[in-house]
Structure 1
């Protein structure tokens, strides 16, 4: 289990305004933890933190420090320090190729842009939006922008994490395997390792 009181004392010592160390992983504590991992002020992170504080416990992400550290570290990398809940669009040559990608379920002109990466883990493609929407009972295929709201960003990330059985890998210490399951390779590996290590430094 995570020693939340110890975490809060560390966050307070680092100057984060979380109130008192009450042993509860509420919005302020979660916002401070996310801020510490991303190296940002915590105020802008409160909407995401509020959603995370609600949905993470039921998903088992607060059961071990390793799970939470990996989830936050990987999410921080994928979203540019929790700044970008929508994929930055050029379009690059790769992005221009999203249209017609049947492996992503993009079968109509404009699907590439409509179903570009969103959320903490940047879900991509009509098929993924459809599947996520069905799992979460959200109309993501018809309203893809929902995945870029604080609530949608957190819930899709949790569903993404669970579908790939990443908590088991985190508990087993298979750190780089988590990166591979998230992005299919080792893209940004050094950054991911650094962010996860920063989270572990606060949680362990």
Structure 2
């Protein structure tokens, strides 16, 4: 609540145990790594309030770069989870890694447990602990977002997460 006071307290109570489990499972085990992960997922999930994108996903229809090759894939595999995975390819990879059939049941990615686990899996798969250890919010954002959308907000959330975790305030690297 300290880093995202506008978050729904009930939603946070549901997410916290799953986030703790995911961070332990995927080696997000220092305060700096945790601060970076929390900042990114807070931004991606609209302050922990959206485990599924409100838009239909139609804008992802036919996106071969996301593996959306079948009619309806854009809507079916729209952004979900705390890291907002999108596309058939990402859903298939998460499905295999987490041992859950997200291809036939994509809406399960919006369940608090899978939303947190998929974020940890994505973080680990993309080896973001190293970038977090360097306090490199720009690189972490590029990998999570595919660009720099919301970079300023992510930096502010990172500072708030550091403060909430009792860390000395330090400026994150915003450039390489």
Tell whether the structures are fold-level matches, with TM greater than 0.5.
yes
Please say if 1:185 is aligned against 2:144.
no
- Cα distance in 1 for partners of 2:8, 2:78 equals 27
- The residue number in structure 2 matching 1:197 is 159
User: Counterpart of 2:3 in 1: which secondary structure?
Assistant: helix
Deviations 1:164-200 (A, max 9, x none): 1111101112121110111121100111000010011
After the TM superposition, which parts of structure 1 deviate over 2 Å for at least 4 consecutive aligned residues? Answer: 40-44
The aligned length equals 165
The CA RMSD over aligned residues, in Å, is: 1.3
- Cα distance in 2 for partners of 1:48, 1:97 equals 28
Deviations 1:46-87 (A, max 9, x none): 1111211223212221x2111000100110000000000111
Shift of 1:41: 5.3
* Equivalent position to 1:125, from 68, 83, 87: 87
- Cα distance in 2 for partners of 1:187, 1:52 equals 24
User: Counterpart of 1:195 in 2: which secondary structure?
Assistant: helix
Please say if 1:81 is aligned against 2:47.
yes
Please say if 1:55 is aligned against 2:22.
yes
Q: Which runs of 5+ in 2 are unaligned?
A: 168-176
- When normalised by structure 2's length, the TM-score is 0.89
Please say if 1:164 is aligned against 2:106.
no
Structure number, greater radius of gyration: 1
Report the CA distance shift for 1:53/1:139 in structure 2 as closer, same or farther (over 3 A).
same
Please say if 1:44 is aligned against 2:11.
yes
Shift of 1:107: 1.4
